[in-house]
Structure 1
Amino acid sequence: MTRRIALTFMALIVLLLVLAVVPLGLSMTQREQTSFRDTTQAANRTIAAAAEEYLSDHRSPAAMRRLLEQAERAGDCAAVFDTAGRPVAATGCPGRTGEGEEDDQAAGNWGDLAHQVLVHPGTAARERDDRLVVAEPIGDTTHPVGAAVLSRSAESMHDRIASMWWRLALIGAGALVAGVLLSVALARWVGRPLRAVDAAALRLGEGALDVRAPGGRGPQEVRRLASTFNTMAARMEALIHGHRAVVADVSHQLRTPLTALRLRLDLLAAGADDATAAEFAGAQEEIARLSRLVDGLLAVSRAENAVPRPVPVRVDQVVDDRVVAWEPVARERRVSLTGRCGVRLTAYLSTGDLEQVIDNLVANALDVVGEGAAIRIEGEATRGRVVLRVVDNGPGMREAVREAAFRRFGNPEASGSGLGLAIVHRLITANGGTVRLQDTAGGGLTVLLELPPLPPQGAPQGLRAGS
């Protein structure tokens, strides 16, 4: 967002500079050219007025020659022509010395311009070789007695225009630099507190309920957002801690009377007849089921209270270890349990979470598949993620049940406590992964886990869980 604000602000500044500086520069350029033309024509009219006294009134040409000499000293070239177009007096200047082909061409061009104003009285101007040549009729504009021609170099005008454009460019560049600095400062002023709120929200989503966004910085709306977020986080922390405390306390308090009740039933069953002993055995099974339910609630509570601290985990080694641990149970139930993962397949998880996930999934699968079934654990790296599949060919799961399977007691058809998949979902999502249930081709259920890989910056490779 900071970059977008800065780029938008810079684009606006560039647009304003273009709309303001370029028209100003063009206007000043036109004004400079007009001023240069007017000044040149005024100087030529002065020469024409002095030449009129000589050609019309037959006075001394001294005033005319003095003006021509002044024009020559100023770097101008000037000439006075009579009514026949013949030069009466002229200054010496490059291109008008009267020698060489280039001089003749210049003299011819001046003569053509003089003839033009004699035939059509009025001021005429022409640009040639970076010089401005102006011609003015001498005397009455109806019946002129001659023509005055003045050529002035436009180099000084171009230098002034170039200097003016350079100044405007420097002003524009300075304004652009100031605008960039201002836009970056503005973007940071707005973006930093928003990033802080975003980071706090991310940590809150990962389970750090005590996180709070820093307030007192940025615009008023951002400060209000941080305050609202902190209020929400505080209320959420109180509610979740209260909920977890109730579940943990109730579950813990239930274990003691359940244990005492089981011992009493064992004592009563020891001296009872066969029929009564069978009833006691049924009661003990229900107590065992209730104990498993309490243990599941405690496991969910511990999973929800845990804050993930991811480290590199060798998925292939964890899978091999859990297959070895569960293989005797699978063999006893006549179920095939195999594992196959890519070599050195590594994910980024909290220590012990992957073991608990695999244990729950294998236990659930062993509870539902029958004799002769198969359970496979497969792992591979694909599309920048580590994918782990637990596949069985058991009875599968209906779509309606799959949609609610990750909620506590969401599967009414579960043979156990119904909390195993809830624990799996909590552990995987808390570590930044995803978990889905799919049908196995040919029948059965596939649990698809997408685990986060190592971060781009890398993590200390010496910390490896399960290795």
Structure 2
Amino acid sequence: MPGSLRFRLPALFLLGIVLAGVVAAAISLRLFQTYTRTQSVQELRREASGLSQLYADAALRAADEGSAAIDFAASKLELATGDRIFYIGASLFPGQDSGLPRLAESAVPSRVSALRETVTFEFTPPGSGRPYLAASAPVRLEPESDALGAIIVAKPRTELRDQWLPLVGRLAAAFAVGAVLSGLLSWWLSRRITGPVLALSGAADEIADGNYAVRVPVSQGGDEISHLAERFNEMAARLAATEERERQFLMSVSHELRTPLTAIKGHVDALRDGLVADPELVQASLDVVAAETVRLERLVGDVLDLAKLNAHRFTVHAQEVHMGALVEQAYATFGEEARRREIDYRLSGTDEAPTIVTDGDRVLQVISNLLANAFRWTPDGGLIELAAAAAGGRVAVEVRDSGPGIQPAERERIFVPFISRDTTGTGLGLPIARELAVALGGQIELESDVGRGSCFRLVLPAVRP
């Protein structure tokens, strides 16, 4: 197809070769024309100078010895040289015929008739009808004497054309062969280049249609095309993984939403149908509905937070935050649960904690999520420590528990949304905590000893106000 890359690429390549060939041929032809003209001019000047000296010597002998004019005719000289010979000026052999065709001074340029130097010029001899390239040389009997006349040696300009005209045919033949070879080479190169590109284009169409399993072959050689194919395959794999995560996300959200909704619907139906009449049972049902509503509200809020973080639409509201007071606030939130479950709940380092610039509400949310995870996995009567520290331009908040610990294979998986190790959680607390930490310019570090407990550490940059 004329509009396809496979057609345009060799066409442009061939066009470039053709243009380069035309320019090179034109330059070569011009250089050859200049060369042949220069050679012809030099040859004409040598012949004119030689004939001028020959006739000057003959005229001098005739004047000194009274001898006759030289006995060779100009026609013989023309036959020997292949050029036309003319003469302008005074007679070289008074009373005798030199045999040279004479020209009127008006037939040649004035600088020729001035008889001062050897001159190259173009003119049209009388009766010829075609232009000639000529050279004139003054005839002097003595080196310092005035010239009697000038010998003119000329050749038709058509002879110059006849010298370079065969070159045009050779250049045309070479150009045609080069164009054919260039066309074949450009076609082969276009196949090599556009083949992978067309494969990428087809694979992109497949991905646009939702087929993320498509892959393109990667050629050997490590060039840009193979690198592009590798990156394309990586992109397709990531899209496939993203689609799978989205599918799992929707399934998990649906499941998590259905659980509290089912409980709420069951108790509401029982109350509406009058199946529960005992005031205590009615109150118990209402308590369940309220608890499941809170759970549902928390789940929806967590999902919205996670969606904003993943879409990079999360806004940090920076303000001055005293980390000691913030940690104490988070600590107090879980004080009642610790007392009820007889957990040894400890707090340290708040007095030395600095004031930094960050989003206090989001930092509190991260610490609360880490504490909620610690209380979920710490058995009654266990130990939970909350500590703050600052060093090396960073602020760290540690949540250490005496729970069962986390297996090495699970330490990255627990930060994946909806992956929970028990049936009571949503699996969103730790993923949201880590994403919030990253959004705040920090990170969450994890240390765990299986059978003895875990330590989650929130690390933030200590940006001073």
**TM-score past 0.5 threshold:** no
Q: Which has the larger radius of gyration?
A: 2
User: Normalized against structure 1, the TM-score is what?
Assistant: 0.44
User: Normalized against structure 2, the TM-score is what?
Assistant: 0.44
